[in-house]
Amino acid sequence: MSKRQLRLLKVIVFVVCLLPFSFIVWDTLNNLLGADPIQTLHFKTGDWTLRFLLLTLSLSPLSRLFNVPLPLRFSRMFGLFTFFYASMHMLVWLVLDQSLSIDNMLEDVPASPYIILGLLAYTLLIPLAATSTAHMMRVMGDSWFTLHKLIYLIAVMGVIHFFWLTKLDYIEPLIYAFVLSVLLAFRWPVIKRIFL
């Protein structure tokens, strides 16, 4: 694939990655979020965060499975979109749910373990997004790879966060958990070396 074709493909993928956000904005502007719009926004932004997180983790297995390097070219883009949708998820909670009130947060957070876990997962995502550039990769060297392996822990925390948040229908979080289990099983030798 030529550089021009790769650039065009990246533009197409970038636009496709923005489509969920566009649909969320459209539904918001047209009052299509249902009876509880804040909760709907919570779930939509959270769902897309997990989806992009799992997509990011799937790129290396796909590359190895089909013996092509192309999927790895999109790792940074999908990782940053994961952070983008996670930030939207966080903003919904901070601005719409908590009204930027410190008192509300201090009341809600200790009583809700899933919020604590979500905040921790988002906090761990920040350094990954901040060091996602090629320049930072060169500057940090091997430590860059060590830092970015936190993505495995973040993914597990994200799925648990969704399980704790869900009160009735566990089908969707179970699907995410199954996909994550498959992806982690593929990477088990690496994970074992890091955490065990």
Model pLDDT for residues 8-25, shown as the tens digit of each residue = 999 999 999 999 999 999
Over residues 104-111, mean pLDDT: 84
Over residues 70-95, mean pLDDT: 95
**pLDDT bucket at 57, cuts 50 / 70 / 90:** very high
In terms of pLDDT, which residue wins out, 149 or 21?
21
Give residue 108's pLDDT: 84
Give residue 195's pLDDT: 52
Please say if the pLDDT value at position 196 is more than 70.
no
CA gyration radius, the chain: 18
Over residues 23-33, mean pLDDT: 95
Please say if the pLDDT value at position 194 is more than 70.
no
Please say if the pLDDT value at position 59 is more than 90.
yes
Give residue 85's pLDDT: 98
Give residue 77's pLDDT: 95
Give residue 192's pLDDT: 59
Over residues 95-120, mean pLDDT: 89
Please say if the pLDDT value at position 175 is more than 70.
yes
Return the structure tokens found at 55. Answer: 């997509």
CA distances from 193 to 75, 189, 190, 196 (A): 22, 6, 5, 6
- Rounded distance between C-alpha atoms, residue 1 and residue 9, angstroms: 10
Where are the chain's structural domains? 3-195
**Is residue 63 helix, strand or coil?**
helix
In terms of pLDDT, which residue wins out, 39 or 111?
39
* Cα within 13 Å of Cα(111), Cβ side: 5
Give residue 109's pLDDT: 86
